[in-house]
Amino acid sequence: MVGMNRRSFTAALAGGAAVLSPRWAQARTACSALNSQAAGDADLVLLNGKIITVDARDSLAEAVAVRDGKIAFVGTTNAVRAQAGPNTKVIDLGGKCVTPGLVDSHLHVLYYGQQFRASLFDLRFPKARTKDDLLGLVAARAKVTPKGEWVVGNQGFSLSVPMMPTLAELDAVSPDHPVYVKDRSGQFGMANSRALRLAGVTSTSRDPLNAKFGRDANGEPNGLLFHYPAEQLIARSIPGYGTLNEQDVLEGQRRTLAFGYTSAQDVIVMQQAHVDLYRALARRGELRTRLYLLRYLNSEQQLDAALQAFERFTDPWLTFGGWKLAIDGGFSAGTGLMYDNSLALSNRAYPFFEQDVLNRMVLKLHKTGLQIAFHACGDRAIDMSLNAVESALNASPRDNHRHRIEHAIFPTPAALERIRKLGMVISVQPQWIAFFGAATRQLCSDALMRRYLPLRTMMNMGIPLAFGCDLPATILGEPRYAFQGAMLRRGREDYVPGPEQRLSMRDALRIHTMGSAYAAFEETTKGSIEPGKLADFVVWSHDLYGIAPRELPQLEASTTIVNGRVIER
């Protein structure tokens, strides 16, 4: 088995002085030996700080030394100062708090960077909070755009489908331009009539596989586009829009490093060309974020083609980890797949695959020996994912697969027990509790909200948890929002769904470091500050273990260090 076993993971996630497994006891002995045997000048030393190591004992230290991109020594300031030589870079922390670099389990670096292109007008929070905001932004962009050229926003606004403008309203503010705008979730978008005509979408157009065109009562397209294949049909008509490039990666990397994310798992790499793009940057030494990639597959035909051509690779900067399948859409689109499809969050939902097709696809992917991640928000979508994993494991048993559910917003208690038994990981976005909890409540019921992202229950069950911000599908990416969501569960209108599900900062930090590292089989190389691990750190504006809840909105990553080098901002 690779990495921790499940008992060790649970002990590590819980923190504190749990009894260590023999394997982890040996690892700690090895780390002590590395400390005692370290020789030669360090490249970097951090002194006079509060070092939160997130090791198995949740140890604290004062200082850390780095050599050749790895942690060489952790201990007191005096002991670490002895590692410094004339060429050592010395940073006096002045009492500041340092943690391992955050590992983000769900961050689309490439697509996030794309949002800042000058060719796209800005819809991101707080620009478009209402329908009138959205229409005003489209109208303003149209005024400065030559007639006939595209008016295209970035990803995007945060409105549920009932709050969206009508096709007539969108046409009225942009009669001379094709228009395309996209919800922040990526699960739906909207085009005006000129854009629909350019893309060839008419009343006789068939819905793309796993996607739908919105229609009015007469069957005419109403401008709404549900899920990626429908959205991409419009996007292909926009010059240059769908061609992603290295600058998009570099811009996304620059911004997310400033947040404190030193590693990211990009779980929706759409094309082999995008894998190649990342690899080109890695080969030239231009990646500063450590990336773990999962290739997104939309159909069994696409899957079969990908299996003929994929290459497994791994190094400290870039790893091809496996595969991603989407089972449902999103709640703002009304396409989260629930057993109760009368709810506003699921009344447009449909399964992207029939269960027998999904089972067949998952078995093929499972046999590659790589990881499979499932986008599954609703309870029915989660269960379909578990059915497919159970079927694959029955046909082809495999230990330590770590297949994972992304989002898992409304799991049933029975589903959580199945996830635990199957050895799966749950990758969640705790900031959504603060951002969208009140809005989600309006789309369902108080009774259902008692099952909303039950983080404490998941953790107490020993289910491996990982935290990821899901940029650009979330409105704000700074990790303080993840900590607020996990610890306070309070958003707009002071609504607190499931207060008993709150986590401590120790829990939340451990999940966002060691938990997310475990989700990518990387817990032996990152996620804690221990000798031999990669020298990735965040220096914080506040002491994470001493911060008061009222101070969380001011929490910032002051300095990000990757591979022992300070990242310039």
Look at residue 25 in the predicted model and tell me its pLDDT: 35
Distance CA 270, CA 25 (A): 41
Q: Is residue 325 located within the same domain as residue 384?
A: yes
Is residue 108 a part of any domain in this protein?
no
338-353: string of b/e by CB count within 10 Å (b at 16+)? beebebebbebbbebb
Q: Residue 35's pLDDT is what?
A: 53
End-to-end CA distance of the chain: 39
Q: What is the pLDDT at residue 39?
A: 56
Instruction: Label the pairing between strands 188-191 and 557-562.
Output: unpaired
Contacts of 245 (CB under 8 A, 6+ apart): 277
Higher-confidence position of 437 and 26: 437
* Residue 6 pLDDT > 70: no
210/353 same-domain check: no
Supply the pTM of this predicted model: 0.92
Domain closes at, from 201, 235, 269: 235
Task: Give the Cα separation of 277 and 110 in Å (integer).
Answer: 10
The residue among 503, 559, 554 whose CA lies nearest residue 13 is: 503
Task: Let me know if residue 264 belongs to a domain.
Answer: yes
Residue 317 and residue 429 in one domain? yes
Residues in the chain: 569
Which has the closest alpha carbon to 180: 130, 140, 219, 138? 138
Quick check: 561 pLDDT over 80?
Answer: yes
In a domain, 412, yes or no: yes
Task: Give a yes or no: residue 107 inside a domain.
Answer: no
Q: Give the per-residue pLDDT at 569.
A: 85
In-domain check, residue 241:
no
pLDDT in tens, 197-237: 999 999 999 999 999 999 999 999 999 999 999 999 999 99
For range 38-63, the mean pLDDT: 93
CATH number of the domain encompassing residue 351 = 3.20.20.140
Domain count, the chain: 3
Mean pLDDT (the chain) is 93
Same domain, yes or no: 179 and 201: yes
Domain boundary among 492, 509, 524: 524
Q: Are residues 207 and 289 in the same domain?
A: no
Residues 133 and 223 in one domain: yes
Instruction: Determine the Cα angle at 212 with ends 210 and 217, to 5°.
Output: 155
Question: Which of 507, 524, 541 corresponds to the end of one domain?
Answer: 524
Q: pLDDT: is 492 or 478 the higher one?
A: 478
Residues of the chain with pLDDT > 90: what percent? 91
C-beta of residue 338 within 8 angstroms of C-beta of residue 349:
yes
Does the residue 114 lie in any domain? Answer: no
Residues 365 and 255 in one domain: yes
Nearest to 210 by CA among 269, 105, 296: 296
CA distances from 257 to 230, 296, 567 (A): 32, 24, 8
List the strands of the sheet with 63-67, edge to edge: 70-75, 63-67, 44-47, 89-92
Judgement on whether residues 290 and 411 belong to the same structural domain of the protein: yes
Q: What is the CATH number of the domain that holds 37?
A: 2.30.40.10
Based on the domain organization, do 95 and 155 belong to the same domain? no
Instruction: Tell me the per-residue pLDDT of 398-456, one tens digit each, with 9 for 90 and over.
Output: 999 999 999 999 999 999 999 999 999 999 999 999 999 999 999 999 999 999 999 99
Pair 25, 152 in one domain: no
On the question of pLDDT at 10 being above 50, the answer is no
Q: Does residue 15 have a pLDDT over 50?
A: no
Domain containing 277 equals 246-524
Average the pLDDT over 459-478 and give the result: 97
What is the 3-class SS of 493-535, one letter each residue? HHCCCCHHHCCCHHHHHHHHHHHHHHHCCCCCCCCCCCCCCEC
Is 356 inside a domain boundary?
Answer: yes
* 329 pLDDT above the threshold of 60: yes
Q: Which pLDDT value is given to residue 363?
A: 98
DSSP 434-470: HHHHHHHHHTS-HHHHTTS--HHHHHHTT--EEE---
Residues 446 and 486 occupy one common structural domain: yes
In this structure, the answer to whether residues 318 and 209 fall within a common structural domain is no
Question: In terms of Cα–Cα distance, which of 426, 409, 296, 253 is closest to 345?
Answer: 409
